[in-house]
Structure 1
Amino acid sequence: MSMLISLPILSHVAQASSFSLGAGALIEQTAYRDYDRQIYPMPIINYQNQYVFVKGPSAGVYAFNTESDKLYFNIAYLPGQFKTSRTDNAALKQLDNRKLSFMAGVGYSHHAKWGSLYANIMTDISGKSHGTLAELAYGYSFQFDKFYIEPKIGVEWQNHKYNDYYFGVSRSESSRSGLNYYSANNGTTPYVAVNAFYNFNQNWQAFVLARYSRVSHAVKDSPMTSRSATGLIGTGIMYRF
């Protein structure tokens, strides 16, 4: 399960408005046992000005917005979910589905010559997990003519409500599936990621993103899971107006 992917599609220059449209796909390998890779279509609408932004799966307003510092309030959806139809495990087929979450929260970023710091905290507003997620990351960007790349390293924290919704096994589920009852605790997930962009010309831009995460013990100990790591990769193309 992963947090919102913060694509650096929007310019760091806060005063200039920008607008782009595009499409792509995101492939995610979750920690669930005998579970198919998840493929999510990724329509892309990106817009920002000094006060508001729409960036992929998130939208929000800036409390303040400068070239080096941004504080914002946003809402977003997380693509992670569990569907019994996508597992080949007979016991997991007896569990309840776990649905997509819509989250709301606050984020902050600081950009300097030595790199960029990112922080955000979000809570579920869709009535699914009632969980809370927090993230802290560091990235350093490189620019080579038309090519831009930003490796990142970070850590995510998930509270017990979030983990229990996606990886817990209730007593009723345990009774009908034969899996052990499991109530998940808080968890911490370190990760490495990279975002890369290539500008064909002033308007057309292609991107690739990838992320590798080591799951927390709260996830790894669940009878629903069989992997100690998860990964995702996405790619697409955008047109900037």
Structure 2
Amino acid sequence: MKTFFRIAITLIACAAWLTGHAMEDVPDGLPDHIVGDVGIAVYTSNLHIGTEGMQSFALPYAFADYKRAFIRIDQVGIKTVKIGYGYLELVGKINLDNYKVKSPFNGNSINRSDPIPLGIGTFQETPIGGFFLNAYQDVGKSKGALYEFSYFAELETIKKIVLYPQLGIERQSSQYANYYYGISPGESILTGYNAYTAPATNNLIAGLMIEIPVIDNWYVNIYGKRKWMGSGINSSPVMNRSFQDNVLMAVAYRFK
């Protein structure tokens, strides 16, 4: 989780430099205490890259706000000025995936460094659902750009179980996509894959969050997401499926 702490420290430093009192000035509508879900989760993903299969691990879980700071599962950030139904945010994305590429031909591996996406965005919590819009620059090895747009609806069902269907799109710049899915001539010799240069690519996303009340302020949250990779990534020889899956199950306490 070194990436998590690097992103958090960088964002807090940037916010302090921009506002001079970002963590002290709490406008109306922002909580002066922790509000939201905090707990532990099992994260599982399958990126369908090379012969690497499913990976699972347990980590802290949070979807919560404190003053201007927030954590939203795989995002951490600072709220700045008010815009619309939300704020302009300084945001970083926490990488929960392993981009190790293992060859099926000779067992050799290529290890990609974790991305460190930092940028700006907004979460617009409107009467018709939540809209997330983020633009990142990877300050890690790829030096590429990552753009995300997602919409979450909210549907309450029986016994106060709430469903949050998700639709979204992600765009990876050519630098970003090529770092994680491309194969250089040297890597081609090492692994037996054909050399490949990945272009900028759009990926479609669909997901579902299920919120289940357990007792008092305790909840179980289950979130599954599928990402259909665009042709620029699917044409890479390291891909063995046209999609990637992420699932988490969390037990969390809700602070109010």
Would you call these one fold, judging by a TM-score over 0.5? Answer: yes
Alignment of 1:1-241 (within 5 A): 14-16=29-31, 17=33, 18=35, 20-64=37-81, 68-84=85-101, 87=102, 89-91=104-106, 93-125=107-139, 127-144=140-157, 146-241=160-255
Q: TM-score normalized by structure 2?
A: 0.79
Partners of 2:119 and 2:230 in 1: how far apart? 22
Flag the 1:186–1:88 CA change in 2: closer, same or farther, 3 A: closer
Instruction: Report the CA distance shift for 1:60/1:192 in structure 2 as closer, same or farther (over 3 A).
Output: same
Identity %: 20
Tell me the distance in 2 between the aligned counterparts of 1:15 and 1:36.
Answer: 42
Indicate conservation of the 8 Å contact 2:103/2:193, yes or no: no
Q: 1:15 to 1:67 in 2, by over 3 A?
A: farther
The letter for the 1-side match of 2:78 is V
Q: TM-score, normalised by structure 1?
A: 0.84
Do 2:78 and 2:89's aligned partners in 1 also have CA atoms closer than 8 Å? yes
Q: Could you tell me how far 1:80 is from its partner in structure 2?
A: 2.3
Equivalent AA in structure 1 for residue 30 of structure 2: Q
Provide the secondary structure at the position in 2 that maps to 1:101: coil
Q: How many angstroms apart in 1 are the aligned matches of 2:144 and 2:97?
A: 14
CA distance in 1, matches of 2:73, 2:169: 21
State the aligned residue count.
225
Contact 1:62 1:70 in 2 (8 A): yes
Deviation for aligned residue 1:175: 2.1
Structure 1 residue 20 displacement after superposition: 4.5
Aligned equivalents of 2:79, 2:55: Cα separation in 1: 32
Matched residue type, 2:94? Y
Structure number with higher helix proportion: 2
Task: Name the aligned partner's letter for residue 155 of structure 2.
Answer: F
Between the aligned partners of 2:141 and 2:118, the Cα distance in structure 1 is 13
Counterpart AA for 1:232: N
- Checking the alignment, whether the CA contact within 8 Å between 1:75 and 1:105 is kept in structure 2 is yes
RMSD value over aligned CA atoms? Answer: 2.3
Alpha carbons of structure 1 residues 19 and 109: separation in structure 2 relative to 1, 3 Å: closer
> Does the CA-based 8 Å contact 1:196-1:208 persist in structure 2?
yes
**1:65–1:195 CA distance, 2 compared to 1 (3 A):** farther
- Per-residue CA distance 1:100-158 (angstroms, 9 max, x = gap): 22211111122222222221111112x22112110112221112453221101111000
Q: Tell me, what secondary structure is at the counterpart of 1:157?
A: strand
Tell me if structure 2 keeps the 8 A contact 1:25–1:234: yes
C-alpha change, 1:206 and 1:14, in structure 2 (3 Å) is farther
Structure 2 unaligned residues grouped into runs of 5+: 1-27
